[in-house]
A and B are shown apart, each in its own frame.
Chain A
Amino acid sequence: MNAIEVDNLSKSYGKVDALKGVSFEVRKGELFGLIGPDGAGKTTLFRLLTTLLNPDSGSAKVEGCDIVKDYLSIRSRIGYMPGRFSLYSDLSVEENLNFFAAIFGVKIEESYDLVAPIYKHIEPFKNRKAGKLSGGMKQKLALSCALIHRPSVLFLDEPTTGVDAVSRSEFWDMLAGLKLKGITILVSTPYMDEANRCDRIALCNEGSILSIDTPEKIVQSFDSKLYGVKAKNMFALLESSRKFRGVVNCYPFGEWHHIVIDKDFDIEALKKENCLIEGFEIKSVDASIEDVFIKLMKK
């Protein structure tokens, strides 16, 4: 059974094609990630699926309800955390939570088991105005408010953007907890390293989906050999490696540069050429989601 079904969905803003015929399904209870940079169409997709916008063409269903015809029934079943903080800055933490509970006509107690693991981090500050919270606390409050009516599907638009690495992994731990409660989660992120926390992912760029699968299978789909090289002068190494025979692409990748090769590449020849370069090292590396993304973008 699918919680979300998207069929050839398109949306333009004037001359800009934000979404160019996108199709995918999210199964019930799945944690599904939309991975891609700004301008990939992630936010537009969220606005369509949460019934805030109508598509130009194509169709989509959330929990079996059509996003155009059945928008009211969708709204009561989903939780949505937009990319921009959209709670009331001049209400306190507790007042915001009460407000959203009242809007959906529910009592906080009814969903407290769901909200508590997240809300307990900010409960000590429940009398503080939401506008005075730090970024990480705002994010937790927004997630608490999005859960207050026990939605069956949760839409999270870039919840970890601008958040440091440690707080980001804590946020993903919270999502793993919500998944265990049976909630379907569609989450977007520009951070490729977060892809591994999802059941399945769609790599998106410029309004299209480049690939959809489990993170493991996406990584396996990288079909060329990949090496990592490093030296004392990394910038010079980048330029020299690019000129080397059989090197299809060479790009910085943290401590190492990654080299994508074709059949003309001869590792011994590269080692020989670089044997006098200070600190030169080469090793075979496994592709990551980011390597796949770069390769798909080049196509």
Chain B
Amino acid sequence: MNDIVISVKNLTKRFGNFTAVDNISFDVKRGEIFGFLGANGAGKTTAMRMLCGLSYPTSGSGSVAGFDVMHEGEMIKRHIGYMSQRFSLYNDLTVWENMRLFAGIYGMTKKDTEAKATELLTQLNFLSERDTLVGSLPLGWKQKLSFVIATIHSPEVVFLDEPTGGVDPITRRQFWELIYKAAESGTTIFVTTHYMDEAEYCSRVSIMVDGEVGALDTPTRLKQEYGVESMDEVFRILARKAKRGE
């Protein structure tokens, strides 16, 4: 198996004469927690959409989960997991029904679904709630459930777009423990966040500035390089370099 799960080279996206993503290159290894940061308007969303097969780059090359970002968007979509910042499970379906629905969309067999869903709910200590309507669950549980459902088809990489926005401090941390566990078992995590303490939990962090990768390294080395104590300060130094408005 290839140990590079995401690899992009000179990836660029232009809208008319505006270059939203400007020549970015990086690799993400299997089992890494890759933090993808940037100020509003730095090009994070555009870059992430290309990596998820939702839009094609104007130029550049690369692969995600073994598929070509220039041509195989549909295949990429089938082989990645994705969790959006907005809660996207069905409130009027039960926990189990939601799991069956998403497993079905990804083409899993009934038998595999049964086994995987049971395994995930057991890990979460949530098997007793399998017939509970998702709409009646506390927000924190919905969030954790969204994450495990995003991994139900055992994707090589899961994209998390601000997964912890508005979540209470305890759930936020429980959520990160789920991420740690998934990464330890070999799932690659690609995550965006506005919480700078969460940047410290990542294996490596990329910070986008004006459509480019302004910095990319482990949190420890980034802090050393900029001579500061926290990722928050690293972020501030880089974000202030931005020339283009939001």
Q: Which residues of A contact B (CB under 8 A)?
A: 36-39, 134-137, 161-168, 190-192, 205, 234-235, 238, 251-255, 290, 293-294, 297-298
**B167 / chain A contacts, CB cutoff of 8 Å:** 37-38, 190
**B200 / chain A contacts, CB cutoff of 8 Å:** 254-255
**How far, in whole Å, are A205 and B41 apart by their CA atoms in the complex?**
32
**B180 / chain A contacts, CB cutoff of 8 Å:** 234-235
Which of the residues B38, B201, B246 comes within 8 Å of A134, measured between beta carbons? B246
Q: Which residue of B lies closest to A140 (CB)?
A: B246
A252 contacts B176, C-beta separation under 8 Å: yes
**Shortest distance from the beta carbon of B240 to any chain A beta carbon, whole Å:** 6
Given A38-B139, A137-B246, A252-B201: A163 touches B40 (CB 8 Å cut-off) = yes
**Shortest distance from the beta carbon of A25 to any chain B beta carbon, whole Å:** 25
Q: Which residues of B contact A (CB under 8 A)?
A: 38-41, 85, 138-139, 162, 165-171, 173, 176-177, 180-181, 184, 194-197, 200-201, 219, 230-232, 235-236, 239-240, 245-246
Given A164-B239, A253-B197: A134 touches B245 (CB 8 Å cut-off) = yes
B177 contacts A163, C-beta separation under 8 Å: no
A297 contacts B170, C-beta separation under 8 Å: yes
B235 contacts A166, C-beta separation under 8 Å: yes
B246 contacts A135, C-beta separation under 8 Å: yes
**How far, in whole Å, are A191 and B85 apart by their CA atoms in the complex?**
16
**A39 / chain B contacts, CB cutoff of 8 Å:** 138-139
B197 contacts A161, C-beta separation under 8 Å: no
**A165 / chain B contacts, CB cutoff of 8 Å:** 194, 196, 232, 235-236, 239
**How far, in whole Å, are A251 and B172 apart by their CA atoms in the complex?**
10
**B219 / chain A contacts, CB cutoff of 8 Å:** 255
> Can you pick out 20 interface pairs between chain A and chain B where the beta carbons lie within 8 Å of each other?
A37-B139, A37-B166, A134-B40, A134-B245, A134-B246, A161-B165, A163-B40, A164-B40, A165-B196, A165-B239, A167-B246, A190-B167, A235-B177, A252-B177, A254-B230, A255-B200, A255-B230, A255-B231, A293-B168, A298-B170
B240 contacts A166, C-beta separation under 8 Å: yes
**How far, in whole Å, are A253 and B181 apart by their CA atoms in the complex?**
17
**A192 / chain B contacts, CB cutoff of 8 Å:** 169
Most central of A134, A135, A165, A167 by chain B CB within 10 Å: A165
**How far, in whole Å, are A272 and B108 apart by their CA atoms in the complex?**
49
**Shortest distance from the beta carbon of B103 to any chain A beta carbon, whole Å:** 27
A162 contacts B139, C-beta separation under 8 Å: no
**Shortest distance from the beta carbon of A233 to any chain B beta carbon, whole Å:** 10
**A37 / chain B contacts, CB cutoff of 8 Å:** 139, 166-169, 171
**How far, in whole Å, are A189 and B144 apart by their CA atoms in the complex?**
22
**How far, in whole Å, are A254 and B228 apart by their CA atoms in the complex?**
14
A297 contacts B169, C-beta separation under 8 Å: yes
**B170 / chain A contacts, CB cutoff of 8 Å:** 251, 294, 297-298
**B168 / chain A contacts, CB cutoff of 8 Å:** 36-38, 205, 293, 297
**How far, in whole Å, are A235 and B235 apart by their CA atoms in the complex?**
24
**How far, in whole Å, are A293 and B173 apart by their CA atoms in the complex?**
13
Given A134-B246, A135-B40, A165-B236: A251 touches B173 (CB 8 Å cut-off) = yes
**A166 / chain B contacts, CB cutoff of 8 Å:** 39, 235-236, 239-240
Which of the residues B39, B166, B169, B201 comes within 8 Å of A290, measured between beta carbons? B169
